[in-house]
Amino acid sequence: MSSTSDVDLKGSMYTFLSLKLRTVDPEIISNVLADKVQQAPGFFNNAPVVIDLSYIEDQEPDVEKVLAAVREHKLAPIVASVQHKDSDLAKSLKLPLVEAGPRAQETKDGNGESVTEKDDDNAKNAKKDKKSDEAGDSDDNESHNDSRSLDPVDLAMAGAEVEYIIKEPLLVKRPVRSGQQLYARDTDLIVLGQIGPGAEIIADNNIHVYGPLRGRALCGVSGNQKARIFCQSLEAELVSVAGNYKLLEEIPEELRGKPAQISYADNKLLIEPL
């Protein structure tokens, strides 16, 4: 006889890729994604993606061709974000729908980037959350996948140039539990605690782990091949630099459980003692 403990239905937070489309041209979409995926193929392979179509609802896109351009690069659309669920575009989709919030008028920030009032609010909230993380504030609810101070990867609008902007490192003072994911965008990730089995830590630049590293660690995910992983006890299920990865069984036995650094040079992934 089954009980309520056999099935647990509750809210959770997950970090997904967000693909914001401001063009309906499948060829442009495919070309931009090809460039992005080439930078870190291991990271993007079969990755679930939220397709944000709210910018192009009035352009009557060929939805099947747009989704085909995304799937062509081994990305997996799981949800579509639209401005109105009753629009013709929404009705033509074969994906679950979520409504995007009302769009504020777009302006340019100091770097020439397009921003909205909503985006600005998100940036302010991210800064507040980051300060909370640095103070060691934690949420022990096991159903919460920690992404409070982290942005999902945002594949930029077609034609945008990629720049590496070094920011203050993201410092996490608590352990990262199984099922959690951390992403340090455009910066280093420093974790003072352990990375549990099944946890995933991601950074555009370097990763430093001062506790045991037992989950997955992916650095240089935006294509930075100079990024490195440093840890005090290497027990990782997977390590990756710019999409080049090794699994636990490929890590030399003499380095397991020891201080190590992982880097990429001469077209190969290097695992060396610290």
Q: Residue 4 domain-assigned?
A: no
- Nearest in space to 139 (alpha carbons), one of 180, 186, 84: 180
Q: Encoding tokens for residue 219? A: 């650095």
My answer on whether 224 and 261 are in the same domain is yes
My answer on whether 138 and 250 are in the same domain is yes
Q: Encoding tokens for residue 235? A: 């027990």
Sort 54 into a burial class: Cβ within 10 Å, 0-12 / 13-18 / 19+: buried
Q: Residue 153 domain-assigned?
A: yes
For the chain, the domain total comes to 2
My answer on whether 82 and 24 are in the same domain is yes
Q: Residue 232 domain-assigned?
A: yes
CA–CA distances in Å: residue 173 to residues 134, 167, 181: 7, 18, 15
- pLDDT at residue 76, as a whole number: 86
Which of 103, 133, 149 marks a domain boundary? 103
CATH code for position 235: 2.160.20.70
210 lies in which domain range? 120-157+167-273
- pLDDT at residue 93, as a whole number: 73
pLDDT in tens, 44-93: 777 888 888 777 767 777 778 888 888 998 888 887 777 666 677 667 77
Q: Residue 49 domain-assigned?
A: yes
Q: Residue 230 domain-assigned?
A: yes
Q: Residue 114 domain-assigned?
A: no
Question: Distance between CA atoms of 173 and 194, rounded to whole angstroms?
Answer: 10
- pLDDT at residue 154, as a whole number: 42
- pLDDT at residue 157, as a whole number: 38
Which of the residues in the chain have pLDDT under 50? 103-165
My answer on whether 86 and 221 are in the same domain is no
- pLDDT at residue 10, as a whole number: 65
Q: Which residues contact 136 (CB under 8 A, 6 or more apart)?
A: 173, 174
DSSP H or E stretch at residue 263: strand 260-265
